[in-house]
Amino acid sequence: MDFKIVKPEKDYNYWEIFLGEKQVGRIEIPHRWGSSGGKRLYLGDTEKEIASIQNQKEALEKLQKFFEENKQEISRYENLIQEVQNGISEVSSAYNKKVLETEYIKLEKEKEKLEQYDLV
């Protein structure tokens, strides 16, 4: 992935990370009195913290790893959802069908949550 780090002209408290034209990450630098540094990496322009980092290189590595792992999780949820759908069509008991439908809804919601973080 070809990330680009941009520092806004008037604000020195953060850097933005872009992939093409899309902002996919943000590095915040605390400037509090007594602070020992400790930059933080966030997803896109959200408050979802990915990691504490030391430098830009580490930020890009962790951001790329986050996106790769997120895609793997989405794929895993898609497979689980498919298995539950197959189970729903195969069971005959109304109770078992209801349990599987509840599990299906739960998996769909988790997958949607992960897809919100899939910015690449």
**Secondary structure of residue 76 in the 3-state scheme:** helix
pLDDT at res. 9: 79
pTM across the whole model: 0.85
Segments of the chain scoring below 50 in pLDDT: none
pLDDT of residue 33: 60
Please choose, from the candidates 66, 51, 63, 70, the residue with its C-alpha nearest in 3D space to the C-alpha of residue 25. 63
Among candidates 106, 64, 104, which has minimal Cα distance to 87?
104
Return the amino acid letter for 83: E
